[in-house]
Amino acid sequence: MRKNIVAGNWKMNTTLPEGIALAKAVNEALKNITPKCDVVIGVPFTHLASVNEVIDKSKLGLGAENCADHLSGAYTGEVSAPMVASTGANYVILGHSERRQYYGETSETLKTKVNLALENNLTPIFCIGEVLEERENNTYFDVVKKQIEEALFELPADKFGQIILAYEPVWAIGTGKTATDDQAEEMHAFIRGVIADKYGKEIADNTSILYGGSCKPSNAKALFAKPNVDGGLIGGASLDAESFMGIVTAFE
């Protein structure tokens, strides 16, 4: 069956010493408990190798927040999937709405990135979600379905089965405005249906679908109680070990 997962997305926050301290604090907190979910931190590229040295990878997974759509070569400033994997990381967040919105990432580039990630043993945490206008004009199901189809549905079933999805309504990211647990459940159930239509019920049932968007200790419990919500991708609240752990421990 699918896993429950809570993954942090630190975004462009923390200096290296601050990042190491935060990773150590999460690692320390995990020593004392047996969480009912896998726990992952997504950290800036500059932090990966150092954070890898200070965490117990059997309890805390490590991910990058992006990777390049090329394997190597003359792409100044880019960081490839093999480079990420060589730091010890085992996850990569791909298709985050901030990457789509500010850096022009398209389904076409994301398709390439997903393939490169999988070829290099990185588990993609693939983000999808509608903007406010699409929520308000009721096109949000179509938008999310298209994002999944365009970037992921050329994958063979065994490869698709390695993907973690994160539904992140853009209007809820960093705004303090969380989707209600019913809104999240409605979309997650829809996504699972889309996957079942393409790859069959077994793969759909085994796919972890995380919710992201102003998730915090106070609302995580209700969100995670929904049958199709398998955890969270956590931005702001992942920058404080205590609040992140408040979400990790929200699974009943």
List active site positions.
Answer: 96, 168
CB of 214 to ligand PEP, least distance (A): 4
CB of 200 to ligand PEP, least distance (A): 29
By CB under 6 A, tell whether 101 contacts ligand PEP.
Answer: no
For the record, the structure tokens of 190 come out as: 């829809």
Of 191, 233, 245, 248, the residue at the interface with ligand PEP (CB under 6 A) is 233
Binding segment for ligand PEP among 75-83, 99-107, 137-145, 233-241 (CB under 6 A)? 233-241
By CB under 6 A, tell whether 9 contacts ligand PEP.
Answer: yes
Which of 83, 233 has the CB closer to ligand PEP?
Answer: 233
146-185 footprint of ligand PEP as x/- string (CB under 6 A): ----------------------x----xx-----------
By CB under 6 A, tell whether 214 contacts ligand PEP.
Answer: yes
CB of 113 to ligand PEP, least distance (A): 17
Residue count, binding to ligand PEP (CB under 6 A): 13
- The residues that touch ligand PEP, with contacts defined as CB under 6 A, are 9, 168, 173-174, 212-215, 233-237
